[in-house]
Structures are given as structure tokens and as C-alpha cells.
Amino acid sequence: MANSIKVLTDKCMGCKVCEDVCPFGAISMVERQEHPKKLKLAVIDLNKCAYCGSCVQSCKFNAIELKKESLQSGVDKSLYKGVWVYAEQRRCEISGVVYELLNEGKRLAEKLGTALSAVLVGSNIKSKAQELIDRGADKVYVCDDSIFAEFQDDPYTSVLTQLIEKEKPEIVLMGATNMGCSFASRVATRIRTGLTADCVSLEVDPKTRNLQQTRPAFGGNIMATILTPEHRPQMATVRHKVFKEAKIEQGRKGEIIEYKVNVQTLLNRTKFLSSIKDTSAVVNLDAANIIIAAGRGLGKREGFKLIEELADLLGAAIGASRAAVDSEWIPYSHQIGQTGKTVAPKVYIACGISGQIQHMIGMSSSDIIIAINKDASCPMMQSATYALEGDIYEIIPCIIREIKSLKGG
């Protein structure tokens, strides 16, 4: 059934409310001289209409009728088997979140009594397939072509969609990375299924085979568990550092399946020009064993010079709360939390960060948390392994001097 929308002329009162609320400017009012009261009539431009339903909800006269295209109906779920992990890579380097998904995917697959597969898309990438098998994949689907040399939404979406439609997995897991978030939703739309983004926990019900996808909601104030009971596959993106990496089992046996791509069938509306590397981060947050993060309590942009000095001494990466980023003290790439990165270092030093739940979601898996804050009652100080109450600008210089003295500086 295709989308359709129409104005019921016998009910329309020409009140203009629908014209005002339409976010796409698709509704205009026209004169209708034949009307006894000379009321205007709403007219919808179907070339502009996105069938969002805003006009229908706003019309108190029920004068607009909307019928939306149905998604899958009556899908035969018995045709869908297996757990898939999309093996994100960039320039032939597999992302760390993939190994975490393989670990969790293996657990889910074992509960369902099914196989765990990985999908590897790239150029000259086949040699990386064994790494995925060593980390627990039973099968690896390899899509190797020069068109995939650099990530672009269109061709990556097309090839993953084709593969899912052909092989019919029941669960597809992807990293909630810039790349994963960019095209996971496009794939879900193409195959007409649901997608739960930014999951922090996964579970399966062996009886219904439903994937229980848990993610923060309402600004991180509650955790919502979402199901996709009527559609397949069930798709989820998962945050980096939420799960432990799968262990390496050298020489593990598995099947490598080369998927021959007909590039003529791949949509590609963009051209890759170049990539610009962020040079502001000396140490990668994702891989850092020590992270020093600062927040609103720093008080000023210049305060990060002190954080940088300590980070240099410890070989640490620099993180930040959303408040520090919103104040434009440091680039967004350093933001940790629900709307930033999820990290799990061995040591996390929080300087002037109160510990709102949105931030805690992004760093609570740290092995050791050291908090420095004037407010001893704030959540970060309460949850810290070691809490130092006091002024950042007094405590950190003391720490720096002590480290330098130990190093003989």
C-alpha cells in the first residue's frame, strides 16, 4: 500500500492551521468561490509532502485523511536465522567495537542455538577475515571491491541491504560509531524493519527469539528495553566499550564466503574527496588506558592547559563533559557521555565534573575513578574510587609537582 493523503472538501473549513504547522511548506490555501460561505480550501502539494501527519493531528475538523505505507506484515520469521555483526573498518583497520560485538554476539547466538557471522566490506580486505574468525565468528561474508575503499553511505547501504535480503539473519548488530550511525538507519529503512540505536545492553528470549535492546531514554533518566517482535531482522547499534572484547583464539576454524558485488546495482550519489584527521587529540580516547576529563568546574577555557600538562606527564587522553564542549572550551571529539563517546580506561580522572547521569553512562565502566571537586556530595564524588575534595587549581598543580619530582624533573 502506497502513502496517500487527501483533503476532505466537505469538512475543510479553510482555517489555515494545517498550513501553519506543515514543516515542509506543502500546504497552501486556495479560493473556492462556489462555497456558500466563500471558505478557502487546503491543497496539499504531493511533491513536497513527507506524509509526516502533522496536518492530520492539527486539524480539529478531521478534514485530512492520511494512509501510510505499511511496513512488513506477516513476515515469516522462521526464514530468518543467525546473528550478524557488521565488521566496521577504515583503511583495512577493524574497529575495536567489532571485537566487543563479536563477544556479545557469540553469547546471544549460543542462547539461540545459531551461528555467529561477520560482514566485512572494504577494498583489499579479505586478509582480515581470519581475524574475525579468531575472535569467534563462525562465518565471514566478505564484500571486496574498490568502490568500498572509502566509506560512503550509498554503496555501503546497498551492499549490506542486498546481503541481508539474500541471507536473512535474525539479528544484525553494528557499532554506534559515526559510520554505523550514518548508515544503519538507511539499511533498516530499506529492509523495512526496526532499529534501536545506542544500546548499552542486549539479551534474547530463547522462546520468542526476540532481541531485548536496552538503551537510555529521556535524557538518560531511564533505561528503556525495546523489542522488534513482528519484523526481521532485529537491528541494533551498540556503544563502544559497553562489552568486553572477544578473546583471540589463533587458528580457529570458520567459513569465509566471498560475496560478489555487482557494482552496477549499487547507488552512489556522492564522490569521496578527502578526509581530515582530528589532530587535537594526542592520545585516542577509545584506546586510552588513562583519561583526564574536565567539566564546568574548570571555569574557563584556559583551564585545559593545566589538564594538558597533567595528561602529558601521564601519557593520558583528554576528555570533557558536555558542559565544557558546549562552552567551546574544547572540540566535540573529546566529549564523553550519552551524546559523546563511551570509554572504559583503567584510570579515569574527573576534574570539576559533577557526574550527571548522561556523563556517567559514558565512563562508568572505568576500572578506577578519581574525582576532584569542591562539592563532596555530587554524584561523581560519591561513585569515585578515590575522591579529592578541593579546588582543581590547587590540587592538580600539587599532583604535577609530585609526578615531576618522582621523574626527577
Q: What is the pLDDT of residue 261?
A: 82
Residue with cell string 492551521: 17
Domains of the chain: 4-67 (3.30.70.3270), 77-265 (3.40.50.620), 290-406 (3.40.50.1220)
CB 290 within 8 Å of CB 183: no
What values do phi and psi take at 309, rounded to 5?
-65, -45
- Pick the range with the lowest mean pLDDT from 4-13, 106-115, 261-270: 261-270
d(CA 221, CA 242): 18
How large is the average pLDDT for residues 282-298?
Answer: 85
Q: What is the pLDDT of residue 264?
A: 78
Dig out the grid coordinates for 97 from the structure: 567495537
Q: Which residues are bridge partners to 144 per DSSP?
A: 122
In this model, does residue 219 exceed pLDDT 80?
no
In this model, does residue 70 exceed pLDDT 60?
no
CB 5 within 8 Å of CB 63: no
For 276, residues 6+ apart whose C-beta sits below 8 A from its C-beta are none
- Where does 315-374 have alpha helices with state H? 322-326, 357-363
How large is the average pLDDT for residues 23-38?
Answer: 85
CB 153 within 8 Å of CB 182: yes
In this predicted model, what pLDDT tens digit does every residue of 1-23 receive, in sequence order? Answer: 567 899 998 899 999 999 999 98
How large is the average pLDDT for residues 374-391?
Answer: 94
Cα separations (Å) of 157 from 79, 184, 214? 22, 8, 25
For 398, residues 6+ apart whose C-beta sits below 8 A from its C-beta are none
Picking from 173, 133, 172, the residue whose alpha carbon sits closest to that of residue 255 is 133
In this predicted model, what pLDDT tens digit does every residue of 297-346 receive, in sequence order? Answer: 999 999 999 999 999 999 999 999 999 999 999 999 899 988 788 888 99
Pairing of strands 210-217, 222-226: antiparallel
More confident residue, 236 or 177: 236
3-state secondary structure of 298: helix
Q: What is the pLDDT of residue 61?
A: 93
How large is the average pLDDT for residues 116-134?
Answer: 95
Band (395; pLDDT cuts 50, 70, 90): very high
More confident residue, 68 or 242: 242
Q: Tell me the pLDDT of the chain averaged across its residues.
A: 90
For 170, residues 6+ apart whose C-beta sits below 8 A from its C-beta are 77, 80, 81, 82, 83, 112, 114, 209, 232, 233, 234
Cα separations (Å) of 384 from 82, 114, 203, 371? 40, 41, 29, 6
Q: What is the pLDDT of residue 165?
A: 94
In this model, does residue 281 exceed pLDDT 90?
no
What values do phi and psi take at 387, rounded to 5?
-115, 125
408: left (phi over 0), alpha (psi -120 to 50) or beta: left
- Where does 10-117 have alpha helices with state H? 17-21, 54-58, 96-112
Q: What is the pLDDT of residue 409?
A: 58
Q: What is the pLDDT of residue 338?
A: 80
CB 337 within 8 Å of CB 362: yes
Q: What is the pLDDT of residue 98?
A: 96
In this predicted model, what pLDDT tens digit does every residue of 164-213 receive, in sequence order? Answer: 999 999 999 999 888 898 999 999 999 999 999 989 899 999 999 999 99
d(CA 176, CA 166): 24
Q: Indicate the helix (H) or strand (E) that contains 394.
A: helix 392-406
